[in-house]
């Protein structure tokens, strides 16, 4: 599993949309509406926690967390310009 420690790119931040009553990521290219699980993943992206750390944190809150699903979400967020690209330590 990846030893990447994902973090938000400059200008991206986790927020809450009061109109939609939903968590969002605000970034220079737009706004992404999130479900609770995606919000938990992004909140854990502090540049210190590795992918296995994030999976372990999520596994404490949600049943059936799969590392492959978390990695797919993270890579999708990289493609949208929300997270820094994958780096190994």
Show me where the domains of the chain are located. 13-79
How much is the mean pLDDT over the chain?
A: 92
18, two tokens: 């009061």
Count of residues in the chain? 89
Judge whether residue 88 has pLDDT over 80: no
Q: What is the mean pLDDT of residues 41-70?
A: 94
pLDDT confidence of residue 89:
55
Q: What is the mean pLDDT of residues 36-57?
A: 95
**Confidence tier at 1 by pLDDT (50, 70, 90):** low
The more confidently predicted of residues 48 and 1 is 48
Q: What is the mean pLDDT of residues 75-83?
A: 94
Q: How far apart are CA 11 and CA 66, in angstroms?
A: 29
Query: Please, which residues bridge with residue 46 across strands?
Result: 7
Q: How far apart are CA 88 and CA 6, in angstroms?
A: 10
């Amino acid at each position: 599993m990846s030893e990447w420690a994902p973090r938000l790119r400059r200008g991206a931040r986790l927020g809450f949309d009061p109109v939609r009553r939903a968590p969002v990521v605000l970034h220079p290219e737009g706004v992404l509406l999130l479900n609770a699980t995606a919000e938990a993943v992004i909140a854990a992206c502090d540049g210190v926690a590795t992918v296995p750390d994030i999976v372990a944190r999520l596994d404490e809150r949600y049943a059936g967390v799969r590392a492959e699903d978390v990695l797919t979400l993270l890579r999708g967020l990289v493609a949208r310009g929300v997270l820094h690209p994958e780096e190994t330590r």
